[in-house]
């Protein structure tokens, strides 16, 4: 396969529905190895609508360009309680990507 599967994690805030199921929020992406483009994205938000929103928001971004644009879109577009956890998970995912690039 010409893709990587990468995950980023962050603690969920208390009082969230997803916290009853998961202690942490996870964002996973399937990433094109050559161009760093997010082919598919998923997360552990409780609602299908929320998971779909994050998937659409991240899909198509190239991590080669950094994460400033998707972070800005998250900050301005996702106004739910998990906003800070999503941002932290995306930053963690990007650190995992950078480690892979350094290794290869």
Per-residue pLDDT of 6-39, as tens digits, reads: 999 998 876 655 455 567 899 999 999 999 999 9
Smallest CA-to-CA distance from 8 within 38, 47, 46, 35 is with 38
pLDDT at residue 15, rounded to an integer: 63
Tokens of 41: 């994205």
Q: What is the chain's alpha carbon radius of gyration, rounded to the nearest angstrom?
A: 13
Q: What pLDDT is stored for residue 101 in this prediction?
A: 92
Query: Which CATH code of 3.40.1080.10, 2.60.40.10, 3.90.1010.10, 3.40.50.2300 fits the domain covering 3-103?
Result: 3.90.1010.10
DSSP annotation of 23 reads: S
pTM of the model: 0.89
């Amino acid at each position: 396969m010409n893709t990587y599967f990468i995950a980023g994690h962050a603690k969920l805030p208390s009082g969230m529905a997803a916290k009853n199921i998961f202690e942490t929020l996870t964002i996973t992406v399937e990433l094109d190895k050559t161009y760093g483009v997010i082919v598919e994205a998923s997360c552990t938000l409780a609602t299908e609508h929320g998971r779909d929103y994050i998937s659409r928001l991240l899909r198509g971004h190239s991590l080669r360009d950094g994460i400033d644009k998707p972070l800005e879109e998250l900050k301005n577009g996702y106004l739910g309680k998990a906003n800070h956890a999503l941002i932290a998970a995306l930053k963690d995912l990007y650190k995992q990507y950078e480690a892979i690039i350094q290794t290869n």
